[in-house]
Structure 1
Amino acid sequence: MKKEILIGFIVGVIATVFGFIFAIQFFGDSDDWGNVIDQAIAEGFFTKLMSIGALLNLGAFFLFLKKNKDHRAKGVLISTILILIITMVIKFMN
């Protein structure tokens, strides 16, 4: 059971990273990810990019539910909540 939750958590983190990279490529003005991240932090929309990146977790969550992998879906939900907490901490620190 714990292994299944860990797998779901890792899938959630990887989905968030891929979503974040996709958001940087789609919404960024430059091909240099460092420039886009620096610009996003300076202009205050870094947390919005993180939130967009976490949207891929929605697909992973419902895919696991459809395949009756409830423990993996729980892991994805835990990773999404962790991303939420990190996003809120970053948002309120600026």
Structure 2
Amino acid sequence: MKPQGKEILIGLLIGLAANIAGIYLYIYFFSKASIEATLQAALENDFLGSLIALGAILNFLAFFVFIRKHQYYRARGVVLATVIAALIILVSKFY
């Protein structure tokens, strides 16, 4: 694998982890139910996309940290993770 591809993959994994962490933190601080119950309610009541979008806010932090450190390929990976989250939101809204 080329060094740029490896850096993009690292950024992608960090972006996905930041998104998952953001979802967890949102549920932990703002939901009175457990994580499983909140995710189940999100699926049933069609607000899973909103939950994913709120989780993606942490991607801004990762993106700007990588830009500040001049790690542009990792920042591209974080943007790719954000695009994947957007596609998941799009699919969840229409299906």
TM-score under structure 1 normalisation?
0.91
The residue type paired with residue 14 of structure 1 is A
SS at match of 1:29: coil
Corresponding residue for 1:82?
Answer: 84
Question: Could you tell me how far apart the structure 2 residues matched to 1:55 and 1:27 are?
Answer: 15
Percent pairwise identity: 36
Q: Is the 8 A contact 2:67 2:75 kept in 1?
A: yes
Task: Specify every segment of 5 or more residues in structure 2 that has no aligned partner in the other structure, as ranges.
Answer: none
Deviations 1:64-90 (A, max 9, x none): 001000000000001110110011101
Q: Is the 8 A contact 2:49 2:88 kept in 1?
A: no
Residue of structure 2 aligned with 1:63, choices 56, 65, 69: 65
Q: Would you say how many aligned residue pairs link Structure 1 and Structure 2? A: 92
Question: Could you tell me how far apart the structure 1 residues matched to 2:5 and 2:74 are?
Answer: 9
TM-score under structure 2 normalisation?
0.90
Task: Specify every segment of 5 or more residues in structure 1 that has no aligned partner in the other structure, as ranges.
Answer: none
The residue type paired with residue 9 of structure 2 is L
